[in-house]
Structure formats: C-alpha cells, structure tokens
Structure 1
Amino acid sequence: MSVLFPEEAKAAIECLLFVAVKPLSIAELTELVGLPADDVQELLVQLGQEYNRNKHGFHLTRVGNGYRLCTRPEYYPYVEKLNKSGPTGLSAAALETLAIIAYKQPITRGEIELIRGVKVDRLLTNLMERGLIKEVGRKEVPGRPILYGTTEQFLWHFGLRDLAELPELEE
C-alpha cells in the first residue's frame, strides 16, 4: 500500500468506518491506514468536525473504545422503514430483560425473574447468543448463581460510549 496524503487518509478512514460492522479503535485504524496514532486521531477530529459543520445523515461517534459512523437521530425514522422487525430486532420481552440487566448489573437470573414476574431462561440464551450480555461472575450466596452483565457489543448495538450514557430511569 502506498503512503496516503492527509485527504486520502481521511477518506480511507471514512470508508473503513462506513463499512465496518463494529466500531474501529485508533489502533485498528492505525494498522489499516498505516499512519501514526496521533495522525489518525487528528483525522478523526477533522472528520467529526466536518460531519458536525455540514448537514449530513451521519455523525462520527465514539462507542466503547472505538469510533463509528452513526445515523443522526433526526433521520432515524427513514432508516427504521428499512427494518421491519423494529429498530433493534429484539422482541419487547428481550428489550425489557436487556434493560433490566443494563441498569441493575451485575444481576442473577432469579433477580431478573423477580422483577419481570416470568421465566427468562430463553431470553438470556438469546441475548447471550447475540453477544449483548455475558456471564460476569457468580454471586457469593448459597448456590452461587451466575451474574449477568452487558457486553461491549451491547454498547455498539445501542450506540453508547459507556453505560453512563444510558438514559436516567424515571421513578
């Protein structure tokens, strides 16, 4: 691969972010475009400013330890029309279970079932298969039940940088 000029490198980074199925870290972008991390960081800042300055359907977002191009919220209704199963592809029961885990983690299956009032075994299996939750340990009580928490994939899926960006719960 040849040495890229700044505008070419910025376009290459933009292209990589557009086609990536997950957020790309500075280290990954550095390896892919062959530039030092400081240069990649500066190009990301420039890209972010360009997306914010001009009216685009996307904006550059930091998610977890990486960056991705995300649809601007005001254009999401148009994108949603493409997805017949809803914005996340998850059932209402799965979303409710996932929300409980996100806000209460680490949490056991029994604690989730106590909140929901129904069995959640299949929902937990589904959410684990999708990579949205994982086992994060065992509770130090008799029986040592599994504790569940969200994954970095959860952050990517919902466009969050970290769990602090979860909306406040209404009491």
Structure 2
Amino acid sequence: MENPELYIEALVFASEQSIRIEEILYCLQAAFERDFTLDEVTACLANISTKYSAEHFAIELVNINNGYQFLTKKAYHPVISLLQLQRSKKKLSQAALETLAIIAYKQPVTKTEVEQIRGVNCDYSIQKLLEKELIAINGKSDALGKPILYGTSVLFMDYFGINNIEELPHIKELTDNSTSIGEQQE
C-alpha cells in the first residue's frame, strides 16, 4: 500500500456520519491484509487534519462523537445557510405533488389530462413545477389544438433519488384496499 493517509481520507469522506478509528482500522486491515496500529492511524488523521487546516480548503477534519468527519469551516457557514434556505423554499405544495405524481405516472401527458384526473385547474402547479425544473415540455400532442405534452425532468430523478421512472412505486403498492366499499368492518 503506497499511502494509508489517502485511504483514510477516502473513508472519512465516504462516511455519512463520523467514522471511528476502530472502523478505519478494520477497513484498512481487511482491505490490505496487514496489521495497522492505532498510532499509525492516529498519525495519519493528524496529518490529514493539518492538511485541511490550510486556508485554501473550505472543509476541515473534525473529531466528533468519538469519530472523524469532514465539515465546512465556520467561515463558510453564512453561505451554506443561504443554500439551505434556498433549498428549503423548494418544498412542494400538496397540489404540486399531486400534479407531479400524475405527470410522472402518465407521461407524456397534457395539462387537460392532468386536470381531468385532479378535477381542478392545474395552471399554477404546472407553472411552479416548470420553474423548479421538475417537469419539462416533451413536445406537442397530435390531438386537436396540439396541446403541450409534459414529462418529468432529469432534476426530478435527482430530487426524488431515483435513477429512472421504473423505480417509482407501482400504483398497486400505494393503494390500501383494506377498507373497500362493501366490505364488512368489525
């Protein structure tokens, strides 16, 4: 193994929460089939910490909860707060979520088709979904008047953490038939 520091840095970076020294030791020993000492790992962590304490890095190595994690330096917190505020404003209303669900499952679909399913006007919801780039215009229908066809965008996949439309839950999985009309309740 050429440089254990790089592997330790990668482990800290890839960890969703703080990673303990014992976890780092386990991973290194399992991957390289050699014993690493606590002192070796601690020295590597100290070197990584020193490296990221330089001014030209926006992140630093922090010892939190008996583990190590990369965090943004305090000087950059105002900018990060703005990003989080901006992203929190991107939350969708119930009407927008319903409209988006219809478009996702029925795409390509016209606004009229969405409105027939929802039973209400969808102008505002469609406009907001277009602004948030969760849906896109996919052309025009051959129907009378050539209405616009809508479908989901690449950002939709990102927003919901899926790779393709097939990963959406099937409609049967979402419906609860436990209290159908005509069934007797106890």
TM-score of the two chains, using structure 1 as the length reference = 0.51
Q: Which amino acid aligns with 2:7?
A: E
Mapping for residues 10-159 of structure 1, pairs under 5 Å: 10=10, 14=14, 89-159=91-161
Q: Which stretch of structure 1 is more off in the superposition, 5-14 or 110-119?
A: 5-14
Q: Please state if 1:7 is matched with 2:7.
A: yes
Q: Please state if 1:166 is matched with 2:163.
A: no
Superposed CA deviations along residues 105-141 of structure 1, whole A, max 9, x for unmatched, are 0000000001111110110000011110010111012
Residue 152 of structure 1: how far off its partner (Å): 1.1
**Structure 1 ranges of 4+ moved more than 3 A:** 11-15
Report the aligned-residue RMSD.
3.2
Q: Which amino acid aligns with 2:103?
A: I
SS of the equivalent of 2:149 reads strand
Superposed CA deviations along residues 46-66 of structure 1, whole A, max 9, x for unmatched, are 9xxxxxxxxxxxxxxxxxxxx
Seen in structure 2, the aligned counterparts of structure 1 residues 11 and 139 have a Cα distance that, compared at 3 Å, is same
Alpha-carbon distance in 1 for matches of 2:136, 2:108: 10
Residue 14 of structure 1: how far off its partner (Å): 3.5
Residue 6 of structure 1: how far off its partner (Å): 4.9
Seen in structure 2, the aligned counterparts of structure 1 residues 162 and 13 have a Cα distance that, compared at 3 Å, is farther
How many residue pairs match? The answer is: 102
Superposed CA deviations along residues 7-63 of structure 1, whole A, max 9, x for unmatched, are 167358649x99xxxxxxxxxxxxxxxxxxxxxxxxxxx9xxxxxxxxxxxxxxxxx
SS of the equivalent of 1:128 reads helix
Q: Identity over the aligned pairs, expressed in percent? A: 42
Give the unaligned 5+ runs of structure 1: 19-45, 47-82
Residue 98 of structure 1: how far off its partner (Å): 0.3
Q: Which has the larger radius of gyration?
A: 2
SS of the equivalent of 1:99 reads helix
